[in-house]
Each structure stands twice: as structure tokens, then as C-alpha cells.
Structure 1
């Protein structure tokens, strides 16, 4: 199969590299300066401690140039959610030359945006649960292999899964795209916004009773929105999301905190969540409005109250947009709890 990858970030490099190393054709669309640099050197995927260099069949800053030379079976969108409209508008004039557009992005709104530009019949939902880190542009490391979910409601779905599995990506078909994407969203919420706002590790957050309560409530809000959408929480490749949901719904809080500290936090190793990494490296914008913010937007549409997600979204967006506010809650959970308590009756 012929794959066009939008983005040489962690996901794009890992997916594209794995596919190329398995014998598929892979083309990358990137910024001009990146395309010039990497036309002179291979990209690298590190798996199980072994670096595996690969050379894409084409790396260009021109979509037209790629499509003049090759047909494309699948365009893989592996950019941050805030870049989705730009990718969609690039694809629009050429949509009849691309059989399927696969979104492997976090969030639950990207597919809808892509469909507005290229047609719903071409858009395919996907999700990556494997942990991949970007060492630098063009070099990534697979930290923990879990897998890939692919919605099974499009003509190419099964063929893509077979192709991904030949590449060792552990892909699985899911009959309900919404359940798959929302279940992944739950995993993205945990200790993500709060870690960036407070500059605390997930372990510190989960061990603090009131901060754990905040984490619990943001997950419960998301699950209530899912319920209104008639979506179930489902397990994803290598990720027991149903058990995770039960942790925040049915298990006594003290036990749940202990389990969260040992499993969720310990499972990250020393790696901080993505919002924390982006905030303190100065990357802007942040994706929080496409995760916590999405819970809020769907909640408003469906009549589900989501005050904790609203607070976390607004607080982190404000900090990201105004660097002088970075210290407003930094290492100060009591202040965050006090401000949130003025808006939400969460603590007895």
C-alpha cells in the first residue's frame, strides 16, 4: 500500500517508519526546511533498543509533487489537533486522489473537521496506544508497545489493519469509532492538565486526596458525556480502559489512589505528561482545548455539566497564553483547590 504521512512527529515517524521497514511505500509531507534536511539523511525508529534507519520513498513540502508521482491509498494525519484544519484544506483539492484519510490524533473532533473538507466517506478514525517519544526530528523511540485501533466501518479498514500488522504495529479493528476515540480520550485526560498547571508529577497528583478527587471527577464527567452519546467505555490495544474507568467509579477512594500511584504513575517511568512537556518547553498552542475542551463542548451540546473539565481547560489555556501566570498554581495545590471550590461543590 501507498501511505502519505502528514507530520514527522513521534506518531508520524513511528507509523511511517514501521510501514516502510515492512515493505510499504511511504511519503512524507513536511515543511520546506525539514524536507530539505532529511532528503540528505535517513529517519530512525528505535524499537527494543535497536535503531532502525529508513528512507521514505519521497519527502517533500509539496503535496502536488507527491501526487504527481504516486497514487495514495491512505493519508495518515499525525499532527496536533490544532493543525487539522490546515491539513484538511491542503487535502481538499486532491481528495479524489486519496482513497482514505486516517486520523491517528488524540481528541474526538478531528474526523469531523477532515470530513468537512474531503467527505465523510473517506475519513477513517484511528488511535495509537503505544508510547512513542521523539528524540529529535526524524528520530523516535518506541517506549512501550501497545497497539493501534482502526475503526472498522470503511472499505479499506481491514486492509489497513492487515498492512499495519505486517509492520508489527499490533492493529485491531473496532466496530464503533466513537467508543474507540472517547475511550482513548479518557486515558489522555488523567493527570495531564493538572500536572502542567501545578508542575507536579502524576504520582504526586494521585497521592494527594483532593487532587485525586479532581482527577476522578474529570473522568466521571467524560464518561457521563459518553453515556449521553450512547458510547460504552471499551478496552483499547494494550490498554484496559474499562478497568481504568472502574478505578474512578466503583473502587473505594483510598484503594483507588494507591492503585493509581502504583500503576498509572509508575507506568510512565520518569516521563511527564504531554501538556507539561509542551508548556515548559514553550510549545504553543497546547492541545488541552481539544481534550478537556472537547468534553466541555459536547457536554454543553448534550446538557451534561462538566465544571471540572471547564476549569482545567480555562486555567491551562490562560497559563499558556500568559507566561507570567505560570506560577499562579505552580507547586501550590491548595490554591488550585480553593479556587476550584469556589466554582464547584466537589469537596465535603
Structure 2
């Protein structure tokens, strides 16, 4: 029997709703910290979570917009961070005054640097690296649909990690413990890179990107740049829950391009296909910031430190950042990979 946990979740988006809702269904206590208007709505409507085609309306969660109220009403076993990576600095500044009250922090965010920011603010002993490979779609705040179940990864040696793995698994989240956090986070980064920025910049589905000879070529180069950076950093590619990352990486790095294209179309088409990835969704929703800085941008940053050129990742990051900020027209390279990559040819 899993020990009942008391969890604080920062953010009621897709991941926060999925993890928190699953834990609530399993009898755990969950409190959310969200914007005042979101809290007001969720207090009235509760959490809506669709799992395996079954809809669940969950009314046992608690919702707060003020951290002082959160800690006045209880002590927590863990705090789960489920906000966009570009919101991390602002969140840290908001919760820093309550550092003494904070439990261990689990970072479920994309990218490889969020944990470092939390460690700098609150201490390395208080931060747990996390990752989620399940595909979850956000309908609206507090309403999410599990589209493909894979699992959850946690890395670290503090006693809370195996307890959380057990609790998450009991709640149906398929959790796994990893011993080396950078291996887990960089392996997840690989899966976040493929057809993500390119789909956003080109306004093409993942299947269209993988089918186009020029787009596919540079997709492959992008991934090979990331793998070279990982190797230089001493990070190993590891399989993640429900995700054979080593097979994927081998297909990218060792297989001839004419074989890799149909192979990756088959592997990735099952997971994404016609579904637009997160960077495309954010860009076309009008967000002025993009997580590309934490994905392709991270490859560029660590590549520079390691002395490895990463021109494709640099081009994708700079172009998408420009589109998000408004300095580059959003349709500048629509369905035109040849124009996008012309400077690299």
C-alpha cells in the first residue's frame, strides 16, 4: 500500500492536472497554486481529467493563489513544478520568501536547467529532477486528457524519491527511478527536440516535416548536434518510461539517412503524426515567449561551452524566438524548409 502524500502543485496546466488529478483519484491530498482567476474557476468546477477514455470530475483538490494561505493550511511532502520553463525565474522569486516552509521540489519541466535554478535558490538537497513522457493535452486550466500513457521519471537518492515513485505508480502514473539526473533530463530533451521547433517555424505537422527531404535532413542534423553535446558532457542516452530513447538515438546517429527517414517516420508518427507539438501550439496561441530557449537553446549554450558547433539548433532557436517576440513574421517560412535552411546549405 502506497503511503498517502500531501502534494503542492505549481500550475494546473496539462501536467499539473494529470499528475495532481491522478493522485487525488488515488486518495492523496493535493493543493494547487494558481492565478486568482484560475483558482476561482477551479474552486467552482473542480478538476476534469480524462484517462483511458473515462472522464473524471474531481472536487477534492484545494486551490490557492497566495502562498501564505497555502502554508497556513498545511505541511506538504513535496512541491511539484509544472509551469513553463520561461516562468521558472518568476516562480522562484515568488516562493523564495517561503523557502523555510517549502518541502522537496520536483521539477517536471522540459529542459535541462530548471533544476539548477531551483538548487541555486533552495539548495541541492531540496531538488528532485523529474520528467513525464506521457502525452497529455490541455483543454483549459484544470482540464486535461491523457492521450498516450508512458510514464514518469524521478532522479535522485534522497529518501523521498523511492516513496514518490511508489506513490506515483500506485496512482497509475507508471513511475521509474533514475540514478543520474542529467542522463534522464538530456534523454528527455532529445525527445522534445524532434519535429518540435521545426513544426512551429514551418507550420508543418511532424509527419510533413519527416516526409520532406530537406526538412528531414536538417531534423537529423539537429539531433546529431544534440547527441554530440551530450557525449561531450558525459551524458548517456537512457530509455525513459514507455519511450525507447536509445533506439531513437541509434536511428539518428548510426543509420544512413535513406534508412533513417522511413524508420523515424514509423517510430515518431505513432506518437505525434498530425498532432502539432508544444512549441507550435504556444506560438500560434500568441505566446510572446517560447520554450525553444530551454530546448534548442540549451543545445546551443552547452555546445558553445563544449566547443561544438550547433548551427541547426541555433537557427531554429533564433528563428522561433524571433517569431514569438514579433521580430520575424510568423509565416516567414510557412511550408518552406528550403528557404528556412538556405543559409546553412
Q: 1:210: which partner in 2?
A: 214
Question: What pairs up with 1:79-90 in 2 under 5 angstroms?
Answer: 79-90=83-94
Q: How does 1:71-86 map to 2 (within 5 A)?
A: 71-86=75-90
Structure 1 residue runs without a partner (length 5+): 342-348
Kept in 2: contact 1:216–1:248 (CA 8 A): yes
Contact 1:43 1:54 (C-alpha < 8 Å) held by counterparts: yes
Deviations 1:154-199 (CA, angstroms, capped at 9, x unpaired): 2211111111111110000000000000000000000111111111
> Does the 8 Å CA contact 2:195/2:206 hold for their aligned counterparts?
yes
User: Whole-Å Cα distance in 2 between the matches of residues 271 and 41 of structure 1?
Assistant: 28
Structure 2 counterpart of 1:345:
none
Distance in structure 1 (CA, Å) of the matches to 2:163 and 2:116: 23
Q: Give the one of 222, 226, 241 matched to 1:222.
A: 226
Question: 1:229-244 counterparts in 2 under 5 A?
Answer: 229-244=233-248
1:200 aligns with 2:200: no
For 2:119 and 2:92, the matched residues in 1 are separated by 8
* Range moving further from structure 2, 186-195 or 317-326: 317-326
Q: Which moved more, 1:77-86 or 1:53-62?
A: 53-62
SS in 2 for 1:218: helix
Structure 2 CA distance for aligned equivalents of residues 94 and 326 of structure 1: 40
Q: Which residue of 2 aligns with 1:105?
A: 109
Task: Find the aligned partners of 1:17 and 1:143 in 2 and give their Cα distance.
Answer: 15
Q: Are 1:301 and 2:310 counterparts?
A: no
- Aligned pair 1:94/2:98, yes or no? yes
Moved more, 199-208 or 104-113: 199-208
**Of 11, 14, 17, which residue of structure 1 is paired with 2:21?**
17
SS at match of 2:204: coil
Q: Which runs of 5+ in 2 are unaligned?
A: none
The answer to whether 1:129 aligns with 2:133 is: yes
For 1:65, which of 69, 87, 92 is the aligned residue?
69
Structure 2 CA distance, aligned partners of 1:73 and 1:130? 24
**Deviation digits for residues 30-67 of structure 1, max 9, x if unmatched?**
00111111111221110011111112442010111010
Q: TM-score, normalised by structure 1?
A: 0.95
Please say if residues 193 and 316 of structure 1, whose CA atoms lie closer than 8 Å, have aligned partners that are also in contact.
yes
- Determine helix, strand or coil for the equivalent of 2:77: strand
Q: What residue number does 1:140 align with?
A: 144
1:246 alignment partner in structure 2: 250
Deviations for 1:208-236, whole angstroms, at most 9, x for unmatched residues?
Answer: 22211111111111111111111110100
Structure 1 residues 57 and 211 mapped into 2: Cα distance closer, same or farther (>3 Å)? closer
Distance in 1 separating the partners of 2:209 and 2:273 = 15
**Which among 156, 161, 166 is matched to residue 160 of structure 2?**
156
For residue 195 of structure 2, give the secondary structure of its aligned residue in structure 1.
coil
Q: Could you tell me whether the CA contact under 8 Å between 2:206 and 2:273 is conserved in 1? A: no
Partner of 1:53: 57
Q: Is the 8 A contact 2:207 2:273 kept in 1?
A: no
315-324 or 22-31: bigger deviation = 315-324
What CA distance in whole angstroms lies between the structure 1 residues aligned with 2:24 and 2:42?
Answer: 16
The runs of at least 4 aligned residues of structure 1 exceeding 3 Å deviation read: none
In 1, the alpha carbon distance for the partners of 2:334 and 2:214 equals 16
